[in-house]
Amino acid sequence: MSLPADRREWSPDDWKLLRNRKAFISVESGQETSETVSQWNGLVPADFAIKATGRSTEKSPGFTDEITFIDRRLDAPYEATRDDAFVALLTINELTKPEVETRLCRSSIGNSDLSFLPLRGSLWGELRTEFGDVEIDRHFARLPETFAAFEALLF
């Protein structure tokens, strides 16, 4: 259930695992929201698909994405920085809970792209039952609501 702690010991297959788009959402600074939405929709059941609609706002920076999930909507509070890719993912996570919770794969911290795992809330519960909260949290970090808290999680 875990990769070697020392990345120098990782095999090519270990690296491929984190970048497997059939298992994880891969997000890097500057990534377009449409790419994150596409990856999300490729991993979750069709009835949990999301969509993002760009629109203008009067607040700086002058644009946002309205993200829709089932019958709920939430605006991604962009700052017009390369970190907006992570803001979009945090917004998606807040919008889709409790049906689907996305967590950060801690093994990807330090990479240029970060890996995230969206699972049904019930499946996270099954994993916690089987492996325990400590073990799950050791490998998959819950996502905070704000980018500042997310950034603190990384450093």
Does a structural domain hold residue 71? yes
Output the pTM of the full model. 0.88
pLDDT for 1 beyond 50: no
Report the pLDDT value the prediction gives residue 32, as an integer from 0 to 100.
92
Cis peptide before 61 (omega within 30 of 0): yes
Give the N- to C-terminal CA distance of the chain in Å, as an integer.
23
Domain count across the chain: 1
pLDDT in tens, 84-99: 999 999 999 999 999 9
Does a structural domain hold residue 16? no
Residue range of the domain that includes 85: 21-154
Report the pLDDT value the prediction gives residue 13, as an integer from 0 to 100.
78
Does a structural domain hold residue 73? yes
**DSSP-assigned letters across all residues of 12-74:** HHHHHHHT-TTT-EEEETT--HHHHHHHHHHHS-GGG-EEEEEEE-SSTTSEEEEEEETTEEE
Question: Which residue shows structure tokens 């490998």?
Answer: 139
Confidence of residue 2 (pLDDT cuts 50, 70, 90): low
